[in-house]
């Protein structure tokens, strides 16, 4: 079974808390990712996701004036690099979120999306079918 360390995107997109929502959207779009880690004074302060951006725009917030610190999720649920894919999927489904920060000690090691995990599970199934 693959572990989170095998699937996690190692090159995290990080943003400063004072970044505008427009800057966040441009950065996320440019990297082709659905989330960014918000760093505050060298530590993880939160995570901002495409869902956060969508809710802000639907609430008529100005993407040039509102900062990511105003819409980010502060209470981050994270996983360990040694977690299995199934542990991560269960945590994400139970928590109702689509991105999981992978943390070791107090530092971010990577991030995975539900899509990343489903792709990995599909690969495992294909490998098992091919070897059967």
pTM of this structure: 0.87
Whole-number average pLDDT of the chain: 92
Cα distance between residue 79 and residue 110, in whole Å: 10
Domain formed by 4-131, architecture: Roll (3.10)
pLDDT confidence of residue 121: 85
pLDDT confidence of residue 120: 86
Cα distance between residue 76 and residue 80, in whole Å: 13
Q: Are 63 and 20 in contact (CB under 8 A)?
A: yes
**Tens digits of residue pLDDT in 16-72:** 999 999 999 999 999 999 999 999 998 999 999 999 999 999 999 999 999 999 999
Domain ranges of the chain: 4-131
């Amino acid at each position: 079974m693959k572990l989170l360390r095998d699937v996690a995107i190692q090159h995290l997109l990080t943003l400063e808390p004072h970044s505008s929502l427009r800057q966040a959207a441009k950065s996320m779009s440019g990297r082709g990712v659905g989330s960014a880690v918000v760093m505050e004074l060298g530590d993880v302060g939160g995570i901002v996701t495409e869902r956060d951006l969508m809710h802000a725009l639907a609430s008529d917030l100005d993407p040039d004036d509102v900062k990511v610190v105003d819409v980010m999720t502060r209470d981050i649920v994270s996983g360990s690099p040694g977690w299995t894919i199934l542990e991560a999927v269960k945590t994400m489904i139970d928590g109702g979120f689509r991105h999981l920060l992978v943390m070791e000690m107090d530092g971010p090691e990577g991030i995975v999306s539900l899509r990343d995990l489903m792709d990995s599970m599909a690969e495992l199934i294909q490998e098992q079918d091919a070897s059967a």
